[in-house]
Amino acid sequence: VPAERLAPLLCAGIIGYRALLRCDLPPGGRLGIYGFGASAHLTAQAAIAQGAVVHAVTRSAASRALALELGAASAGDIPPEPLDSAILFAPVGTLVPPALEALDRGGTLAIAGIHLTDVPVLDYERHLFQERTLRSVTANTRADGRAYLELALAHPPRVTTTLYPFEEADRALTDLANDQVSGAAVLVMS
């Protein structure tokens, strides 16, 4: 397997897998994924392989199309049904209240970003009541890596990448910031 297809598994895949664990998705559950980039496109496939119904929430038309190609039940601005669990990959704190509100009773939202803009004030009754849980995802473990790679061997994901020469790393970062990357951005050494 070419390195550019494996690299996303070792970073984005493992991070997404950890987020999937932290959101407490029940077997056959309904998962909302907010933002649909590198980790999200791999996490969606892992969740679907485990029997979940996945709803992608993203503003990008290309990401919506990718989500549907990978087996998401829907891709749009809001999930069409109450969610058992959700993962916020987008670094946008203003998405926390609507993601919590989209959860069914007892649902869990895991925030899987390294960076997140400020979260607005939450309304207890609308966002947290009925035993909704809000969790962060800070790091992953070797056990997470092993478990994810075993899952990836059993259910090989379709890895979608946008390749950049190493010398254009600054362009890759700009494209990521401007939501212009489909799947994972991968730097290739010349």
Rg, C-alpha atoms of the chain: 16
Question: What type of residue sits at position 66?
Answer: L
In the chain, the N- to C-terminal Cα span, in Å, equals 18
* pLDDT at residue 77 tops 90: yes
Q: Spell out the domains of the chain, with CATH numbers in brackets.
A: 3-159 (3.90.180.10)
Helix (H) or strand (E) segment spanning residue 109: strand 103-111
Can you tell me whether residue 34 is helix, strand or coil?
strand
From CA 142, how far away is CA 140, in angstroms rounded?
A: 7
Residues in the chain: 190
Q: What digits encode the pLDDT tens for the residues 8-23?
A: 999 999 999 999 999 9
pLDDT, tens only, 105-125: 999 999 998 889 999 999 999
Tell me the pTM: 0.94
166 Cα distance to chain centroid? 25
Which stretches does DSSP call E strand in the chain?
30-34, 53-57, 74-76, 83-88, 103-111, 133-136, 161-165, 184-188
